[in-house]
Amino acid sequence: KYPVEESKERDVTYSAPLRVKVRLINKETGEVKDQDVFMGDFPIMTDTGTFIINGAERVIVSQLVRSPSVYFSGKVDKNGKKGFTATVIPNRGAWLEYETDAKDVVYVRIDRTRKLP
């Protein structure tokens, strides 16, 4: 509707209407009806990779979501001692993280809080 700068000044979304051509066929009569259907106004990305939503410039940031499972990892400290970690991510509830230190003591973290021996 408006260019980028004018969208910012007017506090509107920089967008374009999305219309879809739909064909309805009545199987009993064989009647065919074509129609353009308005699906909504979709924001358009600017040249700088942002979107103008209600006059404000917005950036989309994706987030990686860890799947429910058990994740194992290992590391070697500066003295050459191996340490291991197991992270349990349930469908619902608190994350549990089991880890060993240089003295082979097992610690547990609940929802990434402090270590419990």
Task: Read off the pLDDT of residues 7-61 as tens digits, 9 standing for 90 and up.
Answer: 999 999 999 999 999 999 999 999 999 999 999 999 999 999 999 999 999 998 8
The span from the CA of 107 to the CA of 117, in Å, is 4
86 and 51 within one domain: no
Whole-model pTM? Answer: 0.50
Are 54 and 8 part of one and the same domain? Answer: yes
Q: What angle do CA 105, 110, 113 make, to 5 degrees?
A: 90
Whether residue 91 lies inside any domain: the answer is yes
- Is residue 49 domain-shared with residue 77, that is, in the same domain? no
| Domains contained in the chain, number | 2
Q: Residues 79, 90: contact at Cβ < 8 Å?
A: no
User: Hunting for tokens 């429910």 — which residue is that?
Assistant: 68
Encoded tokens for 48: 């700088």
- Please tell me the predicted confidence (pLDDT) of residue 43: 95
73 and 54 within one domain: no
Amino acid making up residue 54: N
Q: How many whole angstroms separate alpha carbon 70 and alpha carbon 96?
A: 9
| CA 105 – CA 83 distance, rounded (Å) | 10
3-state secondary structure of 6: helix
pLDDT on residue 20: 94
Domain span at residue 73 reads: 69-110
Residue 16 covered by a domain: yes
Q: Evaluate whether residue 22 is within a structural domain.
A: yes
In this structure, are 16 and 51 located in the same domain?
Answer: yes
What's the rounded Cα separation, in Å, for the pair 74 and 84? 4
